[in-house]
Amino acid sequence: MSLAVVIPSRNIDNLIPCVEAIRQYEPDATRIIVIDDGLKGLKGNAPYRIYWLEGVKPFIFARAINAGIRYALDCWPDVTVATLLNDDALLETPGGFTAMQRICQEHPDIGVLSAVTNSVGNPNQLRQYGPSLRYEPRMLCFVAVLIPRRTIEKVGFLPKEFTSYGFDDDSYSRSVLNAGLKLAVYNGCFVDH
């Protein structure tokens, strides 16, 4: 059982600390897939193993994320979840993504699970005191979310009709809810955004 982290990026100054944080806090548990949206000069010099996919121009968030998820599911049959991570989000919880994976295994009704963060459009995704797991009735912002393989198999990939940032996460959240699955936020994994 393993997990893949899919990161679309065009900014090397964001990507390097993002990947370094994953390697620090999830050293053995992840396969990092970067969808290259115009990065310069890192591929051959990366001090850590990254699977690189060329982004398609013009860059479309959903298309890039879908390519990363497809790559993970096709290459590694043991990948049970894909974590979508913005390149400007830094994992700060040791074993945070692995803990999210465990929560999804324990709660098969969860279709998308979000980490908590310090800056996001949905206040329910901010770090809060109280229960470590809470359900979201409407939508999740895809700053740092985990999508189990079972959700992709039931709901499909992110919608293709959105051609810029935004609303693809709203649409996918609705599709997950319409499929009878739940959206949830896990207070036990924090990413700095």
Nearest partner of 138 among 157, 123, 152, judged by Cα: 123
Distance CA 49, CA 179 (A): 36
pLDDT digits (tens, 9 = 90+) for 1-60: 688 999 998 888 899 999 999 999 998 777 899 998 877 655 555 556 788 888 888 888
**Per-residue model confidence (pLDDT) at position 80:** 81
Q: Strands 51-54 and 110-117: what pairing? A: unpaired
pLDDT band, residue 130 (cuts 50/70/90): confident
Q: What is the pTM of this model?
A: 0.93
pLDDT digits (tens, 9 = 90+) for 138-156: 999 999 999 999 999 999 9
Distance CA 40, CA 33 (A): 16
C-beta atoms surrounding 67 within 10 Å: 19
C-beta atoms surrounding 132 within 10 Å: 13
For residues 5 and 78, the answer to whether their CB atoms sit within 8 Å is no
**Per-residue model confidence (pLDDT) at position 113:** 98
Distance CA 108, CA 164 (A): 31
How remote is the C-alpha of 45 from its chain's centroid?
A: 24
**Per-residue model confidence (pLDDT) at position 61:** 85
Q: Strands 144-148 and 79-85: what pairing? A: antiparallel
**Per-residue model confidence (pLDDT) at position 47:** 53
The pLDDT mean for the chain works out to: 89
